[in-house]
Amino acid sequence: MSDAPLVDPWLALKASTRARIGLNRCGDSLPTTDQLQFQLAHAKARDAVHGAVDFDSLAASLAPRTTLRVHSAARTRAEYLGRPDLGRRLSAESHETLLAHAGAYDIAFVIADGLSSAAIESHAASVLNACFERLQHLTCSPVALVEQGRVAIGDEIGHLLGAELVVVLIGERPGLSTPDSLGIYVTWNPAPGRRDSERNCISNVHANGLTYQDATNKVASLTFGARELKLTGVQLTEGTLEKVAVENEGGLFEHPSINL
């Protein structure tokens, strides 16, 4: 009989994923350590959903950029969670706030709390400041900071500000392995009623996912592709961007921001 120690056959797979796989058993239940880790992850996810973003600190971290505090039509967090449609529309007061800053902008950036306050507080300022650096040659509207906002609220915001393109940074629905994932949505010619198929999504921006640099590269690529083709969504793909770059022999895509 061999005296070699037993090797957990799941070790190699566990090293490549944060998902809960190959969990041990203690009788009919999970071991105490695994059960406590699950409860902790669940608590972090709930805190991310119900937590409130410190928008004052966020605005300070974006200085000297001008920021506008706005609110969706959802008056409370409970209403926001129960009525997704209200999170897609601005309150009447916020509508007027944005109209007062309307202009003719190349791009409008929006930060919305979404379903993860942790994602916004951990990543939004760093990603947005990197985007400003890469897209500094474009005219940008004041940054809209949205409380109780969903993705589609960016369409109304971009339209009211007079922007050709809107980029929405939003907290994604947390999972049991990542409570602080940031999503980025890019929409050409924003206006109320835009379909989800008319926008591009960059997902899973967090410490164990897409890096800030990679996310910024993708925002820059989509921005230039959208401005060249006058569209976003299902028609603006990696293949489309590469084709346009070839057809232009560099052209618009020779800018150092672009990294396909």
pLDDT mean for each 10 residues of the chain (260 residues): 70 82 82 88 92 96 96 96 97 96 97 97 97 95 98 98 98 92 98 96 95 95 93 90 69 43
Position 255 scores a pLDDT of: 43
Name the domain count of the chain.
1
Position 257 scores a pLDDT of: 41
β-sheet bridge partners, residue 20: none
Position 176 scores a pLDDT of: 87
pLDDT tens-digit readout, 192-245: 999 999 999 999 999 999 999 999 999 999 999 999 999 999 999 888 887 776
Position 81 in a domain: yes
Position 33 scores a pLDDT of: 86
Instruction: With CA atoms as reference, report the closest residue to 121 among 46, 204, 55.
Output: 55
3-state secondary structure of 69: strand
Position 260 in a domain: no
Position 8 in a domain: no
Instruction: With CA atoms as reference, report the closest residue to 108 among 194, 182, 189, 192.
Output: 189
Position 36 in a domain: no
pTM over 0.85? The answer is yes
Q: What CATH number corresponds to the domain at position 118? A: 3.40.50.11240
Position 259 scores a pLDDT of: 42
Position 58 scores a pLDDT of: 97
Range of the domain at 179: 50-254
Position 134 scores a pLDDT of: 93
Position 71 scores a pLDDT of: 98
